[in-house]
Structure 1
Amino acid sequence: MKQPDVVLIHPPSVFDFRDRTIFYGPISDVIPSSPVFEMYPVGFLTLAAYLRRHGYRVTIVNLALLMMRSRRFRPEKFLRRLRPRLFGIDLHWLPHAHGGPEVAALLKRLHPDIPIVFGGISATYFHEELIRNDAVDFVLRGSVTEPSLLALLRELEGDPQFQRVPGLTWKDDSGARVNPDTLPSRTLDEYDFDLGMMIGSVVNHLDFWTSIPFHGWWRHPITAVFTVRGCARRCVACGASADAFGRFMPGHFPLRRSPAAIGAMIRELARITRAPIFLVGDLLDGGAAYAYAVLDELKRSAIDNRIVFEFFRPPPAEFIGRIDASVRHWGAELSPESHDEYVRARFGKATFTNERMAEAIEAILATRCEALDLFFMIGLPGQTFRSVIDMTAEIERLFQRFDRRLSAFITPMGPFIDPGSEGFEDAERHGYIIRARTLAEHRALLEQRDWESILNYETKWMTRAEIVDATYEAAGRLNDLKERYGRISSHIAAGVRARLSSAKSIRKQLAAAGDGPLDPNIHRALVGEIRAFSEGTINDKAELFPSGAFLRNFRISGIIPFIARELMGRFRARTTKPSVMRTIRA
């Protein structure tokens, strides 16, 4: 079988997590992945689709997932078999500050002649530090790097002139070189994903794991359409906020996908899965005309999947009514971040009153909306331990007022405040104390053995220990409220309660050990363990991502055409010289 031209590799957060005793904490309870952060960025799918359209063979390897599935899996043996023209590693999220460079070092030992390129938000921010790593040959800067990656591949095919690749940081005998930024894109429409590639990989190799997005995807294949890259909001701690991208990300943001392209992507997803489809980004941030145009596309699409809308501020009643008239099944997520209006305003996402939020909740639940989830956060500017506890009391009042379709989640901001964000760059003004500044310092934090020590921040109002204490206290109270008001079953509540108790016990024993050796029983319980004491300790993942049987999740009648198209494309590729294919598709 032919080797791919490019292999895109998603590393685990900590490369040797299977041999370490790390108490990760509840840093992933409201996202699909585990504390290893095995869910790769959607950019992998758009990069792969873009390169395939230009005649290149691309393979996605979710190395984090393969490593967490089996202790017998050996990444060295697996990676040694690969011989592409180029390896790509994502350093999108900073929790991969350990795993990304470690995978690069391993690849360079196995394949010293094959170049390695990094990309992603964190790679862009730390590009100068990354390029000093002996295992890193290139860093592609930017949020839209598909054209630059194509340009880099083409340079590697002939007499390379790397100075011609826009947005590339590289090195030669004279040292590091930083090319001018790429020309800014004006739309996301050219950068869609390629479902056929993932389906084809499963069918051709009978491989159900190498390229799927996260561990539980076959059971709850929630999918997403990214309506935007970048953001118009100014969240203090976010590395993709308007302030952060304006500081270090080349291009003009936010960059939106057109309503027609959103509709096309949703229809394609709905052909293969019955799972919910999450629209990432608040449509109203693109303006009313844009948001209503998306709803018109959804109405024309007439799909049965639940469409989940994201709101950063309470939507107006008219827009809620239009959603209900346009979409057969829908849900919504709203992120007030705090019940305290002062704290909410300081965080910078949006300013609105609790009364306005309650009005929007009432309007949403007066429709056919099937679920409305509220998200609150711990670790915000101006937030005290008492404020976190008061947040649960406010949630109880909402539970008393509204029906069971309304639920709520509280999560700590962690493990890191994003570099580039206002809270990181101007920490004192926002009340943050930052404990790590460089990529190497964040890597060192990830090697600590408890999540309190991994946090890269504390605030003027709460120490790291108080952030952890507040998280567990609020989680216990909220779990009790959900059970009392029928948001979750007694069985689910009991499971969360038991896991929370175990997590608090482990934390106490780790604190007692300090920097000394662990009790052998604690060591055995923690070594390589990523779930028992860290997952499902503040909420059950099934509350957000309910699992289902394969045949209920997927539409076989829709998958078959994808398989046929993929197989036909591979047949044509085998009967046509690669250089000819690239010329045809260029």
Structure 2
Amino acid sequence: MGDVDVLFLHPSTRVLTAEGEVVRYLAIPMGTFALADLLERSGYSARIVHTGLERMLDPSYRVEDSLRMLEPKLVGIDLHWYCHAYDAIELAGCVKRYSNAKVVLGGMTASFFAEELLSSFGCVDYVIVSDAELPMLELTRAVTGDGDVHDVPNLLYRKGSVVKGSGRAYVASGEDLDKLTCSNIRLLKDWDLYIRLIHENDALSPKLKTQGWLMIGRGCSVNCSYCGGASLAHRSIFGRQRPIFRSPEKVVEDLRVFEELGISCAYMDFDPYPDRKFYYRLFELVRREKVDISSQFLVWSLTDRNFVREFRRAFNPLYTTLTISPETGSESVRLLNKGFYYDNQSLLRWLEMLEEEMVPVELYFASGLSGEDVEEFKKTMRLGERILRAYHNVVGASCSPLFLEPCSPRFLMPKKYGIRLKFKRFSDFYEVYRCFAEGAVPPSRLGYETEHLDEPRIIELSSKFNEMVNSLMMSEKANPMVE
């Protein structure tokens, strides 16, 4: 094949177990598809390779095979999620060993740790800090042309041993997002298998289900203590003062393409304003255009009945669910940690309303929240059990220990949130995921401990919750007629 201008490599989170290697967190950031498509429409050739997916399909797969086949001039590696810290650097090193391509990293984790990445890893040539659309286009033009990158916006690079930047800033607007196409997943090698495997943690995940992640906007209006994508992060990394949306028309265009590609369910995780005015317009347009697709919608706050009815009318019911993350059964802990607060009675009334409207719902809880001790977590156990016993439209409930996220309020202000940081630099995240990949015991799994709970206890609490859920579900299967 050969002579591809830009190759996007998606890193994987590899975990070596006694049974062999497991690849986790399969989703590719939606912006990667948009960038590859933007380059293609601008006259450059671009391809995407999901290295974890390729290893799942063929354990003998090596990244150097893709490099030799495609001969890219520039390789983009997404380091959006911290769980890819180790593999992103491994990929960058591989690119340098087996090709002459330049390497650029981007995404929220790369942006936050940009200077450390360039200072510590010679295999990384550039880091795009913040939004990448215009910078990636200009960087590609420079690398495939005159090689002068000094004026590329949002770009950091090395000059000798010194990290430099152009000084030009670019912050994407809603109008900029409307110029993107986020559904050209055919640029991904083995895309047809990717859409069948992406819903790895979904409660409704039969083999026939296919899923695509939908880009709706960027940013957040609140600060959840544990979230690296909170309003504070978008202000400090991106310079974005408020959330931005694509137009409903552009979102529906992507939904239409999803339908044509055989994607049966659109994953929607962008809900920064409780009034949801945008979604009423979107749902009406979905109905008018007769797009036939399901939706897994992650709501960030409780909704009213009208929203639920409009949502239900817009999407095919086959795989359609609403998902919410109360995180805890303790109202005081929820108030301290959640940007959108609601009390338990309001949550229960909302679940009852969803049951009346016949809409399935999934719930996510967490352990390791600030202000939480063992007694407070018992409230989470009691709330979870009450919900599972009372509401038959609940198709899934689980609890996970919180991981420390870079640029989250807890990372930036640990004393305020009562935690002790064990991860402070990129190298700390790199080390823990190196240990996972090599089957070693990491010095820390979560990156922190709270003033009340150490790491083993935080992990143990989530396990207890999930054991309770499994026990209740097994009991219900054994006695389906028992109310």
Report the 3-state secondary structure (helix = DSSP H, G, I; strand = E; otherwise coil) of the residue aligned with 2:38: helix
CA RMSD of aligned residues (A): 2.8
Asked if residue 439 in structure 1 is aligned to residue 426 in structure 2, the reply is: yes
Select which of 50, 53, 56 maps to 2:44. 56
The residue type equivalent to 2:264 in the other structure is A
Asked if residue 300 in structure 1 is aligned to residue 300 in structure 2, the reply is: no
- Kindly state the Cα deviation for residue 405 of structure 1 after the two structures are TM-superposed: 4.2
Q: Structure 2 matches for 1:443-462, cutoff 5 A? A: 443-448=430-435, 449-450=440-441, 453-462=444-453
CA distance in 2, matches of 1:71, 1:65: 10
Report the 3-state secondary structure (helix = DSSP H, G, I; strand = E; otherwise coil) of the residue aligned with 2:104: strand
Unmatched tracts of structure 1, length 5 or more: 25-33, 490-586
- Kindly state the Cα deviation for residue 37 of structure 1 after the two structures are TM-superposed: 2.9
CA distance in 1, matches of 2:361, 2:443: 31
Asked if residue 407 in structure 1 is aligned to residue 393 in structure 2, the reply is: no
Match of 1:71? Answer: 59
Give the conservation status (yes or no) of the 8 Å contact 2:366–2:401.
Answer: yes
Bigger RCO of structures 1 and 2 (CA < 8 A, at least 6 apart): 1
Distance 1:36 1:399, change over 3 A: closer
CA distance in 2, matches of 1:211, 1:317: 31
The residue type equivalent to 1:361 in the other structure is L
CA distance in 2, matches of 1:487, 1:22: 31
Q: Which has the higher strand share?
A: 2
CA distance in 1, matches of 2:423, 2:158: 26
- Kindly state the Cα deviation for residue 2 of structure 1 after the two structures are TM-superposed: 4.1
Q: How many pairs align?
A: 466
Report the 3-state secondary structure (helix = DSSP H, G, I; strand = E; otherwise coil) of the residue aligned with 2:326: strand
Give the conservation status (yes or no) of the 8 Å contact 1:131–1:138.
Answer: yes
Match of 2:340? Answer: 350
Give the conservation status (yes or no) of the 8 Å contact 2:128–2:156.
Answer: yes
Match of 2:12? Answer: 12
Give the conservation status (yes or no) of the 8 Å contact 1:186–1:252.
Answer: no
CA distance in 1, matches of 2:19, 2:379: 31
Match of 1:566? Answer: none
Match of 1:91? Answer: 79
Select which of 196, 202, 214 maps to 1:225. 214
Match of 1:324? Answer: 312
The residue type equivalent to 1:332 in the other structure is L
Superposition misfits of 4+ residues, deviation over 4 angstroms: 20-24, 207-219, 486-489
Q: TM-score, normalised by structure 2?
A: 0.88
CA distance in 2, matches of 1:246, 1:154: 29
Report the 3-state secondary structure (helix = DSSP H, G, I; strand = E; otherwise coil) of the residue aligned with 1:273: coil
Match of 2:267? Answer: 278
Give the conservation status (yes or no) of the 8 Å contact 2:216–2:245.
Answer: yes
- Kindly state the Cα deviation for residue 474 of structure 1 after the two structures are TM-superposed: 1.5
Match of 1:563? Answer: none
Report the 3-state secondary structure (helix = DSSP H, G, I; strand = E; otherwise coil) of the residue aligned with 2:307: helix
Give the conservation status (yes or no) of the 8 Å contact 1:276–1:306.
Answer: yes
Question: Which segment drifts farther, 58-67 or 396-405?
Answer: 396-405
Match of 2:172? Answer: 185
- Kindly state the Cα deviation for residue 190 of structure 1 after the two structures are TM-superposed: 1.8
Report the 3-state secondary structure (helix = DSSP H, G, I; strand = E; otherwise coil) of the residue aligned with 1:226: coil
- Kindly state the Cα deviation for residue 174 of structure 1 after the two structures are TM-superposed: 6.6
CA distance in 2, matches of 1:463, 1:393: 22
Match of 1:160? Answer: 147
Select which of 94, 116, 139 maps to 1:129. 116
CA distance in 1, matches of 2:55, 2:62: 8
CA distance in 1, matches of 2:308, 2:289: 18
Q: TM-score, normalised by structure 1?
A: 0.73
Select which of 252, 259, 262 maps to 2:248. 259
Match of 1:535? Answer: none
CA distance in 1, matches of 2:227, 2:421: 14
Report the 3-state secondary structure (helix = DSSP H, G, I; strand = E; otherwise coil) of the residue aligned with 2:383: helix
Select which of 361, 369, 379 maps to 1:372. 361
Question: Which segment drifts farther, 313-322 or 233-242?
Answer: 313-322
Distance 1:159 1:68, change over 3 A: same
Report the 3-state secondary structure (helix = DSSP H, G, I; strand = E; otherwise coil) of the residue aligned with 1:373: strand
- Kindly state the Cα deviation for residue 277 of structure 1 after the two structures are TM-superposed: 1.4
CA distance in 2, matches of 1:382, 1:215: 32
Q: Deviations over 1:62-88 (max 9, x none)?
A: 112222444322334443433111011
Report the 3-state secondary structure (helix = DSSP H, G, I; strand = E; otherwise coil) of the residue aligned with 1:164: coil
Question: Which segment drifts farther, 437-446 or 187-196?
Answer: 187-196
Give the conservation status (yes or no) of the 8 Å contact 1:404–1:485.
Answer: no
Select which of 160, 165, 176 maps to 1:173. 160
Q: Deviations over 1:186-242 (max 9, x none)?
A: 21222222436348x55xxxx966999749798542222122222122111111100
Match of 2:470? Answer: 479
Distance 1:427 1:487, change over 3 A: farther
Give the conservation status (yes or no) of the 8 Å contact 1:388–1:474.
Answer: no
Match of 2:226? Answer: 237
